[in-house]
Amino acid sequence: MAAWFECKVTYEKVADNGMPKKVVESYLVDADSFTLAEAKMIEEITPFVSMGEFNISNIRKVNYAELFLNEDNKCDRYHRCKVLYVTIDEKNGVEKKTPAFMLVKSDSLPNAVAELEKQMGKGLADYEIASIAETALMDVFQYVPAQ
């Protein structure tokens, strides 16, 4: 089963003033292991690094239950959402809240909330939105099977 890995890439690019500038960007990669995540990052980033070398400075496993990736070109921001699934413990009669993290691609925070509510409305489970925050992710690279 594949997992999601957040990878930080450090490289130099030309700033607006024409001088080289070191930047660190975060990407999300769908892979089976840390090694495959690194290989996928190298494959995806190499065409975009025009000067010098790049370094994959960090790879960490992240736990996203769902990704809602809007394919609209104007949607360029990623929002990390914490959703609490609400269930009733029938033994004790107590409400239990189980957290799940989701990623929503949207152009603004209000639109991210609307998209999350639209997608969550398709299910039958009761839920609460605990938090939504914009991430520093630049892009998401999903697994594509070989032809």
pLDDT tens per residue across span 28-60: 999 999 999 999 999 998 888 877 788 999 999
Answer whether residue 65 shows pLDDT above 80. yes
Q: Which of 138, 98, 92, 133 is nearest to 113 (CA)?
A: 133
For Cα atoms 33, 38, 42, give the angle at the middle one, nearest 5 degrees.
150
Answer whether residue 82 shows pLDDT above 80. yes
Answer whether residue 144 shows pLDDT above 80. no
d(CA 54, CA 9): 7
Predicted model pTM? 0.85
Q: Which of 135, 118, 136 is nearest to 127 (CA)?
A: 118
Mean pLDDT of the chain: 89
Output the CA–CA distances (angstroms, integers) from residue 138 to 9, 69, 130, in the order listed: 11, 13, 24
Q: Which of 59, 64, 44 is nearest to 4 (CA)?
A: 64
Domain with CATH 3.10.20 in the chain: 1-62
Arch. (CATH architecture) of 1-62: Roll (3.10)
